[in-house]
Amino acid sequence: MGEEGLSINPSSPILGTGCVAQVYSCTYHGTPCAVKVLHPSVSSSVHLDLDLLTAIAKTVERVGTWAGFEWWALPDAVNEFSVAMKKQMDLRNEARNLDVFNRDFHGCDYVRFPKVLKAGKRVLIETLEEGESIKKSFKKDVEERRRLAVPLITVFLRMVFVHNLIHCDLHPGNILVSKDGTLTILDAGIAASLGEEDRSNLRDLFGAVVMNRGREAGLMIVDRARVEKCKDREAFAKEIEGIVNRFHDLRKSGLTLGGVKIGALLGEVLSACRRHGVMLEPKMANVVLSTIVLEGVGRTMDPDLNLFEAAMPFLTMRK
């Protein structure tokens, strides 16, 4: 690839492959490492796909006004997705994300991230991280799974509420577990930061839900919505209150991941917003999606993990 000091053994197995790039094991100036290389012509293919998605979103919004599709904000959501995908066409963006994650979690003994050795637009060289996929831990004994669940959830909460750079691709394939139980998080190509207002809104909303203040959460959503044509604020707040109440009815099991499906809760809230004409900020989509994906991993690792106990330190800290 023309990179001085980089040597790839053609017989070495591919470490990972995706729609954007492949990862190979190699040596860089004699040190074992991993190199990520963009697929040939991937940029033109992605741009073509994104143009098609944009056209479809605009058409659906235009002809689907009668069905309330405008409140889905499809063009804005597609635009947000497009920005994230286009950033992946330049691996220097991922390198910057990795540098920030390494700085944010410096000194943390339960998680690490690959360190960047050299970065270019199409090639990223990083440290080779040891460990097995967290998927293999799904088959281990209960205590071993529980030991991994708490740090995994804590890492995500720190990303959201402390550091404000959120890894938005936290599926099991991007999480390794070393022999000593340390988590390693890979593939930082998709990451999101929220503006101060959105971040404050998320903290307040999350806190209202956890503290069982459903009506307050409903009014907060309306008052802080990007656009709203809600004809009955109280009716909307009452519906959100009902959703939150059902959520807290499950507190008999301790608000655990096994007893509470966050994805279903978020889905109900989004449906209520659409019905009442309340448009949420599309930038929240990446955070919501990451929460849903991580919820599935967390539930598999430890269904008894208490969300209330895990989240409270982050909700009560000074803003």
- Domain membership flag for residue 262: yes
Residue 302 lies in a domain: yes
Task: Tell me the two tokens of residue 138.
Answer: 């799904």
Identify whether 108 is part of a domain.
Answer: no
Same domain, 187 and 55: no
Same domain for 79 and 171, yes or no, is: no
Amino acid at 122: R
Total structural domains within the chain: 2
Q: Is 62 a domain residue?
A: yes
Question: From CA 45, how far away is CA 241, in angstroms rounded?
Answer: 45
Q: Which of 87, 113, 144 is the last residue of a domain?
A: 87
- Which residues lie closer than 8 Å to 20 by C-beta, 6 or more apart? 38, 39, 42, 46, 88, 89, 189
Write out residues in the chain with pLDDT < 50, as ranges: none
**Is 82 domain-assigned?**
yes
Same domain? 269 vs 186: yes
- Any domain includes 249: yes
Nearest to 86 by CA among 159, 190, 203, 232: 190
**Do residues 67 and 213 both lie within one domain?**
no
Q: Are 184 and 129 in contact (CB under 8 A)?
A: yes
Q: Is 95 left (phi over 0), alpha (psi -120 to 50) or beta?
A: alpha
Active site residues: 169
Q: Give pLDDT, residue 137.
A: 87
Whether residues 59 and 136 fall in one domain: no
Residue 63 sits in the same domain as residue 160: no
Q: Is residue 252 located within the same domain as residue 310?
A: yes
191/268 same-domain check: yes
Does 81 share its domain with 145? no
- Phi, psi dihedral angles at 193 (to 5 degrees): -125, 140
Per the domain annotation, does 103 fall within a domain? no
Domain range holding 72?
43-87
Are 76 and 149 in the same domain?
Answer: no
Count of alpha carbons within 13 angstroms of residue 170, beta-carbon side: 29
Is 31 contained in some domain? no
Tell whether 53 and 177 lie within a shared domain: no
Of the residues 34, 69, 87, which one is the last residue of a structural domain? 87
Instruction: For residues 161 and 223, state if they share a domain.
Output: yes
- The three-state secondary structure class of 105 is coil
